[in-house]
Amino acid sequence: MTDTSSAEFSLTPLDPAPPTAGPLLLVIADGVGIAPEGPANAVTEASTPTLDALTESRLATALAAHGQAVGLPSDDDMGNSEVGHNALGAGRIFAQGAKLVNIALETGAMFESAGWNRVLDEARDHCLHLLGLHSDGNVHSHTDHLYQMLENAAADGVMKARVHILLDGRDVDARSALNYIAQTEQVLTKLNDHHPGLDYQIASGGGRMTITMDRYGADWDMVERGYACHALGIGRGFASATEAVETMYGETDKGDQYLPAFVIVDPSGEPVGAMADGDAVVMFNFRGDRAIEISQAFEDPGFAVFDRGTHPKVTYTGMLEYDGDAKVPTRYLVEPPAIDRTISEYLCAEGVTSFAISETQKFGHVTFFWNGNRSGYLNEALETYVEIPSDNVEFNTTPAMKVREITDRTIELLRSGQYQFGRLNFPSGDMVGHTGDLDATIEAMVVIDECMAELIAVIEELDGTLVYTADHGNADIMYTETDGVRSPKTSHTLSPVPFAIHAPQKGRTLELAPVDNPGLANVAATLLNLLGYQAPNDWEPSLITG
* pLDDT band at 487; cut points 50, 70, 90: confident
Cα 113 to Cα 317: distance, rounded to the nearest angstrom:
12
Same domain for 113 and 60, yes or no, is no
Same domain for 311 and 417, yes or no, is no
In a domain, 4, yes or no: no
> Which of 271, 301, 334 is the C-terminal boundary of a domain?
334
What confidence tens digit (pLDDT) does each residue in 71-128 have?
Answer: 988 888 888 898 999 999 999 999 888 889 999 999 999 999 999 999 999 999 999 9
How would you write 464-525 as a 3-class SS string? Answer: CEEEEECCCECCCCCEEEECCEEEECCCCECCCEEEEEECCCCCCCCEECCCCCCEHHHHHH
Same domain for 271 and 342, yes or no, is no
What's the confidence (pLDDT) of residue 327? 82
Same domain for 361 and 278, yes or no, is no
Same domain for 292 and 420, yes or no, is no
Three-class secondary structure of residue 346 per DSSP: helix
pLDDT over 60 at 337, yes or no: yes
pLDDT over 90 at 504, yes or no: no
In a domain, 16, yes or no: no
Annotation says 176 is catalytic: no
Highest mean pLDDT among 12-21, 376-385, 500-509: 376-385
Burial class (CB in 10 A: 0-12, 13-18, 19+), 295: buried
In a domain, 13, yes or no: no
What's the confidence (pLDDT) of residue 507? 61
In a domain, 12, yes or no: no
In a domain, 535, yes or no: yes
What confidence tens digit (pLDDT) does each residue in 33-70 have?
Answer: 999 999 999 999 999 999 999 999 999 999 999 999 99
Lowest-pLDDT range of 23-27, 70-74, 129-133, 477-481? 70-74
Whether 55 and 497 have beta carbons less than 8 Å apart is answered as: no
Nearest to 448 by CA among 464, 462, 427, 479: 427
Burial class (CB in 10 A: 0-12, 13-18, 19+), 259: buried
What confidence tens digit (pLDDT) does each residue in 230-256 have?
Answer: 999 999 999 999 999 999 999 999 999
Of the CA atoms within 13 Å of residue 490, those in its CB half-sphere come to 24
Cα–chain center distance at 141: 11
What's the confidence (pLDDT) of residue 335? 83
- Average pLDDT (527-531) is 96
In terms of DSSP H, where are the helices of 338-477? 343-349, 360-364, 403-415, 428-431, 438-461
Nearest to 407 by CA among 389, 388, 421: 388
What's the confidence (pLDDT) of residue 338? 85
Same domain for 71 and 139, yes or no, is no
We report the CATH number of the domain holding residue 149 as 3.40.1450.10
How much of the chain, in percent, has pLDDT values that exceed 70?
97
Of the CA atoms within 13 Å of residue 386, those in its CB half-sphere come to 20
- Residue 369 domain boundaries: 24-96+338-545
Determine which one of 57, 81, 390, 491 is catalytic: 81
